Chain A
Amino acid sequence: MHIHKYEKIWLWSGAVCLTIFLLIVGVSAYAMGNQPPSHMETIDPQKAALTAPFDKPALTKIGDNEYEAIMLAQAFTFTPSKMTVPKGSTVHFKVTSTDVVHGFQIPATNVNMMITPGYVSKISHTFDKPGKYLILCNEYCGVGHQVMAVTLEVTS
């Protein structure tokens, strides 16, 4: 098949660019650990609220500047609904749903993941700036979806 010289130049430059994109995200994911949330642990969605650790959803201090937030997503709120950590803390969120699919997003951060019933979703984030952070549901979950949000306060 005949391909014009310029088209070859164009296709090769395109291929090189795409490969560079893939290398950048690949190295960032595999060498630096920036993988998208892909946790494999499962749970019975009907009994999620009775299964440890989700029977006691809470924010717990687990080390210097390190916290674990065990959270339940259910129509139309998250539990616990108020959390406070000092500036510079790393929070490990561990979330599951008791009913339908929800989203878990903190706007203006990279915290963004799906909460699928039957699975435990995990994501970590370090909060360097003080403020009241929104945690909101970004997957349609029913008539009250637009009110499904809680706040995380980062104190200075």
Chain B
Amino acid sequence: MIDKRDAKLSLGFLSVSFIALFIGAIAGLLQTLVRSGTIELPLHIGYYQLLTAHGVLLALIFTTFFIVGFLYAGISKTMGALYDVPRRTAWLGFAMMTFGTILATIFILLNKATVLYTFYAPLQASPWFYVALVHVVVGSWLCAFSMWNQYYIWKRRTKNKLSPLFSYMAVMTMALWFIATLGVAATVILQFIPWSIGWVDKIDILISRTLFWYFGHPLVYFWLLPAYMCWYVVIPKIIGGKIFSDALARLSFVLFLLFSIPVGFHHQLLEPGISHSWKFFQVVLTFMVIVPSLMTAFSMFAVFETAGRKKGAKGLFGWFKVLPWKDVRFFAPMMGMLIFVPAGAGGIINASHQLNQVIHNTLWVTGHFHLTVASTVALTFFGIAYWLVPYLSGRTLTPQMNKLGIIQTIMWTVGMAFMSGAMHLVGLFGAPRRTAYTTYSDHPQAMDWVPYQAAMAIGGTILFIAILLLMYIIGYLAFKAPKGEMDFPVGEVEEEAAATPVILENWKLWVGICAALILIAYTIPFWHMIEHGPPGSTGYKFW
């Protein structure tokens, strides 16, 4: 058991995360029902208002709170109890983030911020919505500072010992997050807030979009890296194996830091004002960030095969059968990993320069990130929660809850297969994303999309039932399960694995290269936007 005070801190973050997940899931269910034409919303609730709530609460709040809570627990486990300053800073961060979350939720529910979670200008929300977002981001920065501070003190006290793999990855994840959120903080603080209050009349749209997507792509890696931490560090222990290579695991995280940020243009491939050569350059950089995922795929299979062979599995694929399929701590993340195969393939297609014209802003994209963040990442997080929540609350994961967790995972996978599968297909036919139920005056093409939207609603309903089941399991594990000691699984490295080169902990070097790549990829096109930008836009409230 980690220090009680750290357990409380981690549980604090996890609680907000699960409340956000539940509210976001309700919005999600209603959206699929509206879009299939099954129901109409009562009480003047708008489809786009739900969509805003769904995006903000799930993509930003559920993920960030869960990640920070998980990282604190793992840091306390691998580096020892948090020192005083880092812990106090963490609570301050928690308070700011939670305040921001509540404020944002209120303004979304008041219909004062129906701008979706990407809040593209010149749609103009209440200034309070942007102020709320700043609180979430700055609060998360305090958490980043606090984790770095912990690492720094630990390094000094241990006379520069090699950091534990989990903590190294936590420091890297927060470094990525901090560098990425500088962009969104800049656009919100320098552009959106003065403009929505009325201090300035106009906003430069392309600059705000570019700053947003400078943040928007590393955001998806911020979701993914903690899932990879579970795969690299936790899963080997659960399946009775060893970490394949400490050095390669760290190297992959270094590569994520370097290549996940200077690639935001691949979200802006179809917009004017950015020359196609800079777009193509960032497409090439985007392809570089695929490499660490290829490394991860190999590492994971290698861990499975090595562990299986140690257990005596024979033949080419005998090891696959002896994996602990009946242990939800393995099963849920494993489903997440398998789903990452189509998810990753879709991602490569999305980033392929002009191929983006086939799928941009269609439901294919929605289907894509419901495989990445809402399946790969979410299932891994659920798999973590099943042991982390009882671990932190001094209880145990009972066999019964384990079984329910497996059922929950299967339901999630099946529900997502329906919903995301239908989204991918109908997206290829051209159905737009982020659009309420419509047949475009009964246009035959749009009529062809309706059955797929019904399949999305079936999937959405299954997913919602799975969320209810998840809430029950988590509630039981937090408050009702029998008291006892759980294990926080942390894998050990193979004895014969090569030593980890010191250079992987040279932060100045990696952050320096990261900054250089960002400057190379962004300086000239960004300067062009400023120098040759059109007059700005006034705000619109079209909802």
> In the complex they form, do A and B come into direct contact, defined as C-beta atoms under 8 angstroms apart?
yes
Map CB proximity to B onto A2-16 as digits: 1 under 8 Å, 0 otherwise: 111011001100110
Map CB proximity to B onto A39-51 as digits: 1 under 8 Å, 0 otherwise: 1111111100000
Q: Which residues of A contact B445 (CB under 8 A)?
A: 107-108, 134
- Decide: B501 and A1 in contact? CB cutoff 8 A: yes
Q: Which residues of B contact A21 (CB under 8 A)?
A: 287, 348, 352
- On chain B, the number of residues with a Cβ less than 8 Å from chain A's Cβ atoms is 77
Nearest CB of chain B from residue A72's CB, rounded to whole Å: 15
Which single residue of chain B is at the shortest CB-CB distance from A111? B357
Stretch at the interface among B86-94, B264-272, B313-321: B264-272
Q: Which residues of B contact A145 (CB under 8 A)?
A: 48, 434-436
Query: In the complex where A1-B501, A11-B294, A46-B538 touch, is A40 in contact with B532 (Cβ < 8 A)?
Result: yes
- Decide: B536 and A35 in contact? CB cutoff 8 A: no
Question: Residue B484 at the A interface, CB < 8 A?
Answer: no
Q: How far is the CA of A28 from the CA of B51 in the complex (A)?
A: 37
Q: Within B294-311, which residues are at the interface with A (CB < 8 Å)?
A: 294-295, 298, 302
Nearest CB of chain A from residue B477's CB, rounded to whole Å: 38
- Decide: B435 and A7 in contact? CB cutoff 8 A: no
Nearest CB of chain A from residue B192's CB, rounded to whole Å: 14
Q: How far is the CA of A36 from the CA of B272 in the complex (A)?
A: 9
- Decide: A45 and B535 in contact? CB cutoff 8 A: yes
- Decide: A43 and B501 in contact? CB cutoff 8 A: no
Q: Which residues of A contact B283 (CB under 8 A)?
A: 22, 25
- Decide: A25 and B46 in contact? CB cutoff 8 A: no
Query: In the complex where A22-B283, A112-B361 touch, is A1 in contact with B247 (Cβ < 8 A)?
Result: yes
- Decide: A140 and B271 in contact? CB cutoff 8 A: no
Q: How far is the CA of A21 from the CA of B348 in the complex (A)?
A: 9
Q: How far is the CA of A45 from the CA of B536 in the complex (A)?
A: 7
Q: How far is the CA of A37 from the CA of B497 in the complex (A)?
A: 49
- Decide: B294 and A14 in contact? CB cutoff 8 A: yes
Q: How far is the CA of A112 from the CA of B428 in the complex (A)?
A: 12
Query: In the complex where A44-B535, A100-B540, A110-B358 touch, is A14 in contact with B291 (Cβ < 8 A)?
Result: yes
Map CB proximity to A onto B207-219 as digits: 1 under 8 Å, 0 otherwise: 0010000000000
Map CB proximity to A onto B151-182 as digits: 1 under 8 Å, 0 otherwise: 00000000000000000000000000000000
| Complex partner residue of A25 from B123, B352, B535, CB under 8 angstroms | B352
Question: Residue A34 at the B interface, CB < 8 A?
Answer: yes
Q: How far is the CA of A118 from the CA of B348 in the complex (A)?
A: 31
Which single residue of chain A is at the shortest CB-CB distance from B361? A138
Q: How far is the CA of A51 from the CA of B537 in the complex (A)?
A: 16
| Complex partner residue of A45 from B287, B298, B430, B534, CB under 8 angstroms | B534
Query: In the complex where A100-B123, A118-B206 touch, is A10 in contact with B294 (Cβ < 8 A)?
Result: yes
- Decide: B362 and A29 in contact? CB cutoff 8 A: no
- Decide: A38 and B276 in contact? CB cutoff 8 A: yes
- Decide: B542 and A36 in contact? CB cutoff 8 A: no
Query: In the complex where A22-B283, A114-B271 touch, is A142 in contact with B543 (Cβ < 8 A)?
Result: yes
Q: How far is the CA of A148 from the CA of B320 in the complex (A)?
A: 51
Most-contacted residue by chain A among B272, B430, B538, B542 (CB, 10 A): B272
Q: Which residues of B contact A15 (CB under 8 A)?
A: 291
- Decide: A100 and B270 in contact? CB cutoff 8 A: no
Which single residue of chain A is at the shortest CB-CB distance from B535? A44
Q: How far is the CA of A6 from the CA of B301 in the complex (A)?
A: 12
Map CB proximity to B onto A71-102 as digits: 1 under 8 Å, 0 otherwise: 00001000000000000000000000001110
Question: Residue B360 at the A interface, CB < 8 A?
Answer: yes
Question: Residue A147 at the B interface, CB < 8 A?
Answer: yes
- Decide: A146 and B436 in contact? CB cutoff 8 A: yes
Q: Which residues of B contact A138 (CB under 8 A)?
A: 360-362, 432-435
Q: Which residues of A contact B543 (CB under 8 A)?
A: 142-143
Question: Residue B78 at the A interface, CB < 8 A?
Answer: no
Q: Which residues of B contact A40 (CB under 8 A)?
A: 272-273, 275, 532
- Decide: B361 and A117 in contact? CB cutoff 8 A: no
Query: In the complex where A7-B298, A29-B354, A36-B357 touch, is A119 in contact with B272 (Cβ < 8 A)?
Result: yes
Which single residue of chain B is at the shortest CB-CB distance from A41? B272
Q: Which residues of B contact A25 (CB under 8 A)?
A: 283, 352-355
Q: Which residues of A contact B270 (CB under 8 A)?
A: 36-37, 112-114
Query: In the complex where A1-B248, A1-B251 touch, is A42 in contact with B434 (Cβ < 8 A)?
Result: no
Map CB proximity to A onto B97-122 as digits: 1 under 8 Å, 0 otherwise: 00000000000000000101000111
Which single residue of chain A is at the shortest CB-CB distance from B287? A18
Q: Which residues of B contact A107 (CB under 8 A)?
A: 429-431, 445
Q: Within B491-543, which residues are at the interface with A (CB < 8 Å)?
A: 497-498, 501, 532-538, 540, 542-543
Question: Residue A149 at the B interface, CB < 8 A?
Answer: yes
Q: Which residues of A contact B435 (CB under 8 A)?
A: 138, 140, 145-146
Q: Within A102-148, which residues are at the interface with B (CB < 8 Å)?
A: 103, 105-114, 116-122, 132, 134, 136-147
A to B CB contacts below 8 Å, 7 in the list:
A1-B248, A99-B540, A108-B445, A112-B270, A113-B270, A141-B542, A147-B438
| Chain B contacts to A: CB under 8 angstroms | 46, 48, 51, 114, 116, 120-123, 204-206, 209, 245, 247-248, 251, 268-276, 279-280, 283-284, 287, 290-291, 294-295, 298, 302, 348, 352-358, 360-362, 429-438, 440-441, 443-446, 497-498, 501, 532-538, 540, 542-543
Q: Name 17 extra pairs, CB < 8 A, besides A36-B269, A112-B360, A145-B434.
A: A1-B251, A11-B294, A18-B291, A25-B352, A38-B275, A41-B272, A75-B542, A100-B540, A101-B209, A107-B430, A109-B430, A113-B270, A116-B273, A134-B446, A143-B46, A144-B542, A146-B438
**Which 9 residue pairs of A and B lie closest in terms of their CB atoms, listed nearest first?**
A107-B430, A142-B542, A118-B534, A42-B534, A138-B432, A146-B438, A119-B272, A114-B271, A138-B361
| Chain A contacts to B: CB under 8 angstroms | 1-4, 6-7, 10-11, 14-15, 18, 21-22, 25-26, 28-29, 34-46, 75, 99-101, 103, 105-114, 116-122, 132, 134, 136-147, 149, 151
